[in-house]
Amino acid sequence: MDALRVLSRRRFLGTLSLGGAAIASGVRLTGESDGSTASSGTEEEPLFRFLQINDVHLQQEHGFTSPTYRDANRRARWLVEHLADPEFFPPLDFVLLNGDMIHQGTLESNREAFAHLRKLLPALPVPFYPAVGNHEVSQHEGDPLWEEPYVQTYGEGRQFYSFVHKGVAFVVFNNAGTGEGLKESVYRIRHERLQAMLREHADVPTVAVCHIPVYPVRQEEILARSFGFHSWRTREPEIAELLEEHPSVIAILSGHLHLTGTARQAAIPQVVFSGTASYPHDVGLYTVWQSVIRIEAIRLPSDLLVPETNIHGATRHGVDYVDREHPTYTQYLMGNSDERLISIRRGRRKPEP
């Protein structure tokens, strides 16, 4: 059995039988303009693939470690060592680092965690594009002192930036301090820079990349309780409004919630992966064809899984949360099968009725 067949089987096992639900070969999300499925493109080679990695919560090599995210550093090292291994991943053009690559603490412990991260990044076998997570800056969006370790690690200009890859634009913006009562100037800068990038790429399919989701991916009142923090979605409504004004925006990719899912009733497909620190330890594989983007949740190997690291269940709350669309605890954490293997149309969105 060749490496790709082994990989396909592992992916299948990683998405199989969530509460008895069948595996979907593709699903039409709100915001798609036709019924294209994940199987589209089988008649041609994909244009490119990329991987989304978020919520790694890398900690200092020595000193403070968080028991909540046991073995987080081990999972981070595994990813770096295996991104180019065809037994686990197909060839990738780049990776998105969608925030919370480190675990926050004091400013000094943040610096030490970033120093550890800087030792790992050179081993990545493909280019990487970071986004600011709340842990990178300890919720201090727009504060140069707290942002300095992030800048030292990734370079200037990596908080609001864009790039185009093989006909798809990626617009990366910082919403790490959402709802924190920051200076008005911080929110204004966020809005102005995002608006400028969206206008620049108005004529090409555009993917928005950030850390904190713009739309909720679970029933709102349940998610607010299970997550336990106010930032279960971006609190400033003008961000969603701005993205919705631009029909070139075909998806929003984020993390932060430590669960995997999609927003069902959103103007734009919102895709969230749990990341590697918390169970179910998912990363996201994106395969881009001429007309369709196929999105697949990939769990890390079984010997790296630590179920008690989830933050939405009884270990933390004394109850395992579920909601209307996710009637089992496993579905709530991992998403339904049609959230773990989905497709979106690469073309412009149709206007909302």
Q: Compute and round to an integer the Cα radius of gyration of the chain.
A: 19
Q: Where are the domains of the chain?
A: 3-345
What confidence score (pLDDT) does residue 336 get? 97
User: In the prediction, which pLDDT does 12 show?
Assistant: 35
Give me the residues of the chain with pLDDT under 70, please. Answer: 1-43, 61-65, 351-353
Give me the DSSP letters along 107-158: HHHHHHHHHHHHHHGGG-SS-EEE---HHHHTT-TT-HHHHHHHHHHH-TT-
Q: Beta strand 168-172 with 206-209: parallel, antiparallel or unpaired?
A: parallel
Distance CA 255, CA 243 (A): 18
Element (H, E) at 282: strand 282-288
Cβ-based neighbour number of residue 312 at 10 Å: 27
In which residue are the tokens 């909540």 written?
A: 68
Beta bridge partners of 168: 165
What's the CA gap between 102 and 114, in Å, rounded? 7
247-289 pLDDT, tens digit each: 999 999 999 999 999 998 899 999 999 999 999 999 999 999 9
DSSP assigned state of 41: T
| Domain covering 3-345 assigned CATH 3.60.21.10 in the classification | yes
Q: What span, in angstroms and rounded, lies between the C-alpha atoms of 343 and 247?
A: 17
- Residue 301 is given by DSSP the state P
- For residue 199, give every residue at least 6 positions away whose Cβ sits within 8 Å of its Cβ, in sequence order, or none: 246
Q: Which amino acid is at 113?
A: A
DSSP sequence for 53-66: E----B--SSS---
